[in-house]
Structure 1
Amino acid sequence: LALIFFRDHKEETALADRMESKPDSSSWLIPLIIVPGVWGLIVLSLGTVGVIWTAILMVGLLLGFIALETGRETPGRESDLPGLTLRQTVCDFRFWVILTAFLMLGACVSGIIINIINILLDKGYSPGLASSSYAGLGLIGFSVIVGRLLGGFIVDHVWAPLVAFIFMGVPAIGCFILMQDLPQIYNSLAIILFGVAAGVEFDLMAYLVSRYMGMKAYGKIYSFVYAAFGIGSGTAGAIFNAIRGDAANYNGALTCALVGFIAGATILLSLGKYRNFKT
């Protein structure tokens, strides 16, 4: 929230220099970050079409706010840090690739993790086993930590879009596994893949923004990408359940997630080589 609310006259991050009564216009982003979680409780009654339209509305609001903030940018008042201005960023296809990818990937990861117990119950697990630390929900916590540590180390040595393609694309295999009638060990492997993806996605999102957009308007740019991620992850749980409907399992939702993982991970490969803002 500090990145969103408080900036100095050069639009650099400032933690406590704009706490006047007039709110920063960036506070419009707050509903886009917070509301998805609230809508997750409301849209369950809207059905599949209603849930999807709700998500589309949120994306539309985000796009409108991006346009508003871009129009407000004052030339000559940008940060002295290397990188793209906000206006330059929104004209760069890489920004839209990153935003779109993490909108999809955030929805896929969160939709599965939120519903993993129900998915396992549909596969015949007992409630205790579905939430256990060795076969169910508990595996996610461990694998998130592994993903955070492993992903952070690898991106220092390997091209980040390739890391993202592997870490965020492999969970598609997990979706396929959960759609099959396989032994418990395979389902546990699928859960680990989702947890690792959840652990690495935040680091990848921040790292990609810094390497391709630079630090000049990093606070705003990252907040837009994170808002898109929040919309996807905040509405995904309800969307998964809406897709499931009265079906006997989550195979329909898992199929959508499988496609989303592949698409989101693949488009990140189009980012190309890292930008050099120091020359």
Structure 2
Amino acid sequence: MRFKEYSIVAISLFGISTGPAAFGLASIGVVSEPMSIEFGWSRTAISAAVSIMMLCTAACLPIAGRIIDRLGARRVLIPSILLLALSMAGLAFVQSYWQFIALYIAMGTIAVGTNSTAYMRVITSWFDHRRGLAIGIAGSGTGLGFAYVPVFTQALVEHWGWRAGYLGLALILLLGTLPLVLLAIHEAPEHDAPHDRPEARAAQQGDSIREAMRKADFWVLGGIFVVLAFVLYGLIPHLVPLLQDRGVSAGQAAWIASLFGSAAFAGRLLIGFMVDQFDARRIAVIFFSLSALGLLLLALPLPTWAFLPAALLLGGSLGAEVDMLAYLTSRYFGLRSFAQIFSTLFAAVMVAMGLGPLAFGFVFDMSGSYTAILAIGAPICLVAAGMVLLLSSYAQRARGGQVTTT
């Protein structure tokens, strides 16, 4: 990778770490307890904000993908980052539940352009042969966010309260993400060129959204990642409260959540390297099966040390989710309508991301424990691993236009 490509991958990594998926999910587990004390809201009510944000994102992502394909990633990212920063800052001043929900809705609608779709569009335009590694590095931004956001937010909460946590996240967006995107994020030159020029033709190869939806692989991919997202992202906002219920202190719980994020970060780097070397389907089966083991470790009445391998297994498996979806989308359907196809699939995944936290919160409020939902989640992950076997052999579309099967 040349310096320009390195910088784009690195900035995409950081940008994704500051998106709604990381900032919205990883912070709410830390602030839920003090918010519950101040306002009297239940865990279901608080986690519902994340669910609503995800559902709104799911509704808006296909539209955002179409706009990104038409206008370019940069023109969507810049205003979206500003709107996300304003939404995060606004959370520091909420006085009622409807204000809290309204701002999470804003993060899922007007700030939807800060999700990984725009960054993935840029990455896939710059890389072909090492696309898996590039996607893995950039996509590990979500894991990076899950690693530092709980610790960063917890430090602010301990010193200045939960409102300071949201203000700190808003400042990261304004002083970090926005200047970096302005400095370096844009598609490769052929993506900026008129479509009738020869260098643009390779970038326009692949399926349209309608052509993709007529293929079985489109629906199998959607099914795999929907069921995974329901379980893995359902757990994230409840991980810190779950650990505290098991007798772990707030500070220790935040660090274990950070370990979860660190494992997701490392897992995405490892997976990004591996999918360039081996069949991505085999890798998916392995990692999805490991997530089932991690859920069982949390469900069983084991000593607190078991939380550490559980966090590592689940975090590492999370690395196989969105990045694998982006990689397989580019390989199965090409780049012609990548943002629209990926965002459509990701929209379905976001619905599951939204319903998962709500389901976890509902089970806890009804039973006083997360054990039942964790026990159900383990076989769900095994079902996802089995569904991978239904995928056909994917094609690798080279920049020069030749198509070679793996």
Using structure 2 for the length normalisation, give the TM-score.
0.49
Aligned to 2:319, what secondary structure does the other structure show? Answer: helix
**Structure-2 residue corresponding to 1:72:** none
Pairing partner for 1:263 from 347, 371, 383 = 383
Cα gap change, 1:14/1:193 in structure 2, threshold over 3 Å: closer, same or farther? closer
| SS of equivalent residue, structure 1 residue 170 | helix
Following superposition, the deviation at residue 177 of structure 1 comes to 1.0
Q: What residue in structure 1 maps to residue 247 of structure 2?
A: 124
Deviation at 1:16, TM superposition (A): 5.0
Per the alignment, do residues 220 and 256 of structure 1 end up closer, same or farther by CA in structure 2, a change over 3 Å counting?
Answer: same
Question: Contact 2:209/2:337 (CA < 8 Å) preserved in 1?
Answer: yes
Aligned match of 1:178 = 298
Displacement of 1:32 in angstroms is 12
Give the aligned partner of residue 139 of structure 1: 259
SS of the residue aligned with 1:200?
A: coil
Alignment partner of 1:95 out of 218, 222, 225: 218
2:244 aligned with 1:244, yes or no? no
Aligned-CA RMSD value: 2.8
Q: Which has the higher contact order (CA 8 A, sep 6+)?
A: 1
Q: Which runs of 5+ in 2 are unaligned?
A: 1-60, 77-104, 112-195
> Which aligned pairs between 1:4-153 and structure 2 lie closer than 5 A?
4-8=66-70, 34=108, 81-131=204-254, 133=255, 136-153=256-273
The size of the alignment, in residue pairs, is: 219
2:292 and 2:378 in contact (8 A); partners too? yes
- 1:75-126 per-residue CA deviation (whole Å, 9 max, x = no partner) reads xx9x763322222211111001111211111121111121112222232323
CA distance in 2, matches of 1:100, 1:185: 34
1:109-151, CA deviations, whole angstroms, 9 ceiling, x for partnerless residues? Answer: 11112111222223232333322x2xx2121121122112111
Residue 64 of structure 1 aligns with which residue? none
1:188 aligns with 2:308: yes
Structure richer in helix, relative to its length = 2
TM-score, structure 1 length as denominator? 0.70
Percent identity reads: 28
Distance apart, 1:6 and its partner CA: 4.0
